[in-house]
A and B are shown apart, each in its own frame.
Chain A
Amino acid sequence: MSENKITNILVAGIGGQGVMTAAEILSQTALAQGFDVKKTEVAGMAQRGGVVTSHVRFGSQVLSPAIPPGEADILVGFEPAEALRWCSHLRPEGVIMINTTRQEPPVVSLGLYDYPEDPVGEITNTGIECHAFDAGAIARELGNFKLVNTVMLGAISELLPFSAEVLKAEILDRFRGRKPTLVDINEKAFELGRQAAADN
């Protein structure tokens, strides 16, 4: 077989959390770095609070768009239970990055199902390299819950086959055009995410 190392990143969360945007930014950065890129999502009726996953694959040539189970290099979990749901998609030497802010769905509020007591612990027990921190809290402290996205990208930025600075520039450029006031705060969010990943 040829020397075509493909990087597989699975982004998982809930409709409305910015999963798609994070995957889009990763894809655009990889594209700008000269990779062939494919991105696909399983969203369906996800706008209604369902599970959303986005698959990002890049390398010198990407054929099939979806990441085969057990072959993800990085799992970005925007929510701890979703990280748990998808951790079996990782390759054994893969890395998981988790935002520990919980989002309980109505089926849990109604008492029909239990929210896992310790999703991060369960994942850690499988032996996967797992980093978990409260990205939601960082975002809230910075004043905008939507920053979770940038925090999480900052957190995985050192795990990618291109530099963290390149990824950061891609994020900040998006704001420079549309909302220049948000550039600084996103930069902060990115750095705090990077820091949190190093500390956890």
Chain B
Amino acid sequence: MSAVPPLSESNRRFMSGNEAIARGAWEAGCNLAAAYPGTPSTEILEYAAHYPEMYTEWSVNEKVSLEVAIGASLAGSRALCAMKHVGLNVASDALMSQTLAGVGAGLVIAVADDVGLSSSQNEQDSRFWGRFAHVPVLEPADTQEAYEFVRRGFELSEQFNTPVILRLTTRICHVKGVVNLGQRQEISRNEGFVKDPARLIMTPGVAKKRLPMMFERDEEVQRHSEASELNFIQAGSDRRVGFVTSGPTYMHVREAFPDAPLIKLGLSYPVPFDRIRQLADQVDQLVVVEEVEPLLETELKAAGIELLGKEILPRIGELSPNVLRPAIAGLLGEEVVEEAPVKPPVEIKPPAPRIDPATGINVFPRPPTMCVACPHLGIYYCLSKIRNTTISGDIGCYTLGAGHPWNALDTTICMGASMGIAHGLDKGRVEADKDKKVIAVIGDSTFMHMGMQGLLDITYNKGNVTILLLDNRAVGMTGGQDNPASGRDIHGEEAMQVDFRKLCEALGVKPERIHEVNPYELPTLFTALRQEVKVPEPSVIITNQPCVLVDHYGAQPALTVDDDKCTGCGNCLDIGCPAILVTRRETVVKPNGSEKELAFVKIDSGACTGCDLCPKTCGPDAIVPLANYVRQ
């Protein structure tokens, strides 16, 4: 990994929002950054880890990462904590109390909302947490601001003794733009941790006394927000419509309506009502442009400011100039060239053809799949073949098991929920399901994030769930980051490696009910699974092969299909390995008159890692090592 990028003759850099945030934190003298990986926020910490002046870590979950950051802040160091929107739900417990206690040195919580749902279980609006926790919210509009607002966040945090939320969206995190950089400024550390039990020991008595402080602080920040240059009005010549913007919507509005007056809210909470009224007075109509929830809209309307919002703009997904233009044209009574589309997530469904609707362009979906040779392939293969079960899944790569060809999952709700939900499925079963076995599937990282507690609940409450703990030693879905199961830290350096067998034992699973199996050994896996679902107590089957994305994954020579032996049975396709491709399909009539679909296959030798999984499904032994095949 490269160290700090040197500032040569030019300080102009092409950076992603996430990279800019890490850089901004470093320049602002931040000493600690912690996170649990989650799209679209992951790279903030990956970049932060390049700066040796900042202690960085992958925490086991967002609540812990926020607690670590709070600790550092109280110890006198500026601290950054990064997470995706759903992560703040997890961390919210710590947030709600810390907002009362206040901070030490500046504390910034960078929260990335997955607006448009590129890879999340829900679309939620983290600006609500600002209101809920009485915490100021900064909303950068592009990469340059993402970089600058980190420092502003630390400053605000110190000025008002509060954590500050830096609210990001995918269109900040994953956009690269030009950023003008500066240098790191070490901030003179105060005397370190200041003992202050009347603030930091949050008993009911203390909390009660802190509440008036919090409301006073709200008012102070509100006054600051009215005066701050982070919130500014930009004049425009076409006063028919004015806009209230925050975050990336500022850019969309300026692109779509370059001549319209607008207010840009960089510090969007507390809301600068007076400034917005000033703008309202200058224009015929005011429109608030915000992504996801009508949050500002409701507040501004409640404050008696007349405006339009979600009446004319979509409530789902990302906004963009092409969404704004027709909506506003309609408002002005101009001809609407295009329907105001509520765009579906484009990566899943192709957009409707625009060039010639008559051509009816329609392309198959290309949903994400498991990787070639993924150690989970065999597990989902087994799960798809095992009958009379209810399978509770979890998030991450495990969710992919719900797709083709396995269709192996019955639920997926949120991180770590497979445990508790499985327990509920077991305890809440009705007579008709009395013979159904309950299986829970969870990954190593997810288990450590939130699953352990669920397992403890199962063992403590005499549950009966068979747990598949798929230890691939990485946070696979976000790109293979390290965690306590990988035995390496954020810098790739050696670290303690958790022993899941012992951990599960400590959580109350009987030693004889814990099995460790190689997920590429299909028969062993099947036997263990069959045996354990029958046992009326909690069992854990731990699989022990690494994610194929980690750089130390050991690939073997590729396999190939012997055309002379392949009968076209298609069994190997049930494994779901993307390296297995169909070369030709055939319909044959069996002696009994019924028709059978045959699919003859080949293996993409460039992709196959020789994991040796698919040969185990092939009756006629048609899948052979490439070298042997060529030699024959």
Contact = CB atoms under 8 A, between A and B. Distances in A.
Interface of A: 1-2, 14-15, 24, 27-28, 31, 36-53, 62-66, 68-71, 81-82, 84-90, 92, 104-116, 119, 122, 125-128, 145
Contacts of B400: 48
Contacts of B581: 104, 109
A106 B174 contact: no
B176 A46 contact: no
B586 to A, nearest CB: 12
Contact of A1 (B258, B350, B356, B363): B258
Contacts of A48: 368-371, 397, 400
B355 A126 contact: yes
30 contacts: A24-B176, A27-B176, A28-B14, A31-B178, A37-B177, A42-B347, A44-B119, A47-B371, A47-B479, A48-B370, A48-B371, A48-B400, A49-B369, A50-B367, A53-B346, A64-B255, A64-B320, A65-B171, A65-B248, A66-B318, A68-B320, A85-B361, A92-B355, A105-B364, A106-B404, A107-B365, A108-B364, A111-B582, A111-B585, A116-B364
A51 B345 CA distance: 12
A43 B322 CA distance: 21
A88 B320 contact: no
Contacts of B355: 87-88, 90, 92, 126-128
Nearest 6 A/B pairs, CB to CB: A44-B118, A113-B364, A48-B368, A68-B322, A45-B368, A50-B368
Given A1-B258, A41-B174, A48-B397, A81 B363 contact: yes
Contact of A49 (B118, B142, B350, B578): B578
Interface in B347-367: 347, 350-356, 359, 361, 363-367
Interface in B249-304: 251-252, 254-256, 258
B346 to A, nearest CB: 6
Contact of B361 (A40, A49, A107, A122): A122
B576 interface: yes
A109 B582 contact: yes
A110 B573 contact: yes
A15 to B, nearest CB: 8
Contacts of B369: 48-50, 105-106
A106 B14 contact: no
A36 B255 CA distance: 14
B554 interface: no
B352 A65 contact: no
A82 to B, nearest CB: 8
Given A27-B176, A31-B14, 11 more contacts: A37-B177, A38-B177, A40-B176, A49-B369, A63-B252, A65-B251, A81-B366, A82-B363, A86-B350, A88-B361, A122-B359
Contacts of B177: 36-39, 62, 65
A50 B364 CA distance: 12
A124 B224 CA distance: 58
A183 to B, nearest CB: 21
A107 B367 CA distance: 8
A65 B177 CA distance: 9
Contact of B477 (A14, A39, A45, A63): A45
Contacts of B248: 64-65
B476 to A, nearest CB: 9
B405 A50 contact: no
Contacts of A31: 14, 178
B597 interface: yes
Interface in B85-113: none
Chain B CB within 10 Å, residue with most, of A40, A86, A112: A40
B270 to A, nearest CB: 27
Interface of B: 14, 39, 116, 118-119, 142, 171, 174-178, 248, 251-252, 254-256, 258, 318, 320-322, 346-347, 350-356, 359, 361, 363-371, 397, 400, 404-405, 477, 479, 549, 573, 576, 578, 580-582, 585, 597, 599, 601, 606
Contacts of B405: 106, 110
A151 B237 CA distance: 47
A66 B367 CA distance: 22
A51 B366 contact: yes
A42 to B, nearest CB: 5
A132 to B, nearest CB: 16
Contacts of A113: 364-365
Contacts of A110: 404-405, 573
A84 B361 contact: yes
B578 A106 contact: yes
Nearest to B120: A44
B400 to A, nearest CB: 7
Contact of B404 (A89, A112, A128): A112
A145 B604 CA distance: 13
Chain B CB within 10 Å, residue with most, of A37, A38, A53: A38
A90 to B, nearest CB: 7
A81 B116 CA distance: 23
Contacts of B580: 109
Nearest to B585: A111
A102 to B, nearest CB: 10
Nearest to B14: A31
Contacts of A47: 368, 371, 479, 549
Contact of B320 (A36, A66, A125): A66
Contact of A111 (B142, B251, B368, B597): B597
A166 to B, nearest CB: 16
Given A40-B176, A50-B366, A105-B369, A111 B354 contact: no
Contact of B576 (A85, A106, A114): A106
Contact of B14 (A27, A40, A49, A51): A27
Nearest to A70: B354
A81 B364 contact: yes
Contacts of B599: 109, 111
A40 B367 contact: no
A88 B361 CA distance: 9
A66 to B, nearest CB: 6
Nearest to B118: A44
B176 A14 contact: no
Contact of B39 (A2, A44, A53, A107): A44
A31 to B, nearest CB: 5
A42 B346 contact: yes
Contacts of B254: 63
Contacts of A63: 251-252, 254-255
A85 B318 CA distance: 20
B335 to A, nearest CB: 17
Nearest to B583: A109
Chain B CB within 10 Å, residue with most, of A44, A64, A109, A110: A64
B117 to A, nearest CB: 8
A39 B370 contact: no
Given A40-B176, A42-B347, A85-B350, A127 B477 contact: no
Contact of B366 (A36, A90, A107, A109): A107
A128 B118 CA distance: 29
A125 B360 CA distance: 11
A151 B256 CA distance: 35
A112 B364 CA distance: 9
B109 to A, nearest CB: 23
Contacts of B118: 42-45
B291 to A, nearest CB: 13
A111 B586 CA distance: 12
